[in-house]
Amino acid sequence: MTAAILPIPILLLLKVFAYKGVFHLKGVSATYTTCTIIAGSPLAALVLSILPVPFVLYLTYVAVAVLPVYLTMKYTGVGLFPEALLIAVPIESVSWVAYAFLIAPLFGS
């Protein structure tokens, strides 16, 4: 059980620094707190998947994709296209691929 939970904080930390770096490169002002909220939103959406309601699983998939884009727009003031989509979608995609193929195998998950 511990091996499955341990990589999640590493993933969150990776995403926080990725968001902070991209915001800095784009010239968008964002604090580490803002980056943590945006980076942690898909992880919070995955908590919904433990509810025993069948349609919640599909809402989880939508929330994982939409929440970072929405929160990027809300907390940083950038527009939807191209900024919010081009910031949130690549970071989320790369971080989940890194989690699946690099971070989780290191911990035997």
Range of the domain at 100: 2-106
pLDDT of residue 70: 93
Q: How far apart are CA 20 and CA 89, in angstroms?
A: 15
Q: How many domains does the chain have?
A: 1
pLDDT of residue 62: 78
**pLDDT value at 90 more than 70:** yes
Q: How far apart are CA 72 and CA 79, in angstroms?
A: 9
Kindly indicate the confidence band of residue 17, based on its pLDDT and cuts at 50, 70 and 90.
very high
DSSP secondary structure string for all residues of 29-71: ---HHHHHHHHHHHHHHHHGGGSS-TTHHHHHHHHHHHHHHHH
The larger pLDDT score, comparing residue 50 to residue 36, is at 36
The larger pLDDT score, comparing residue 51 to residue 108, is at 108
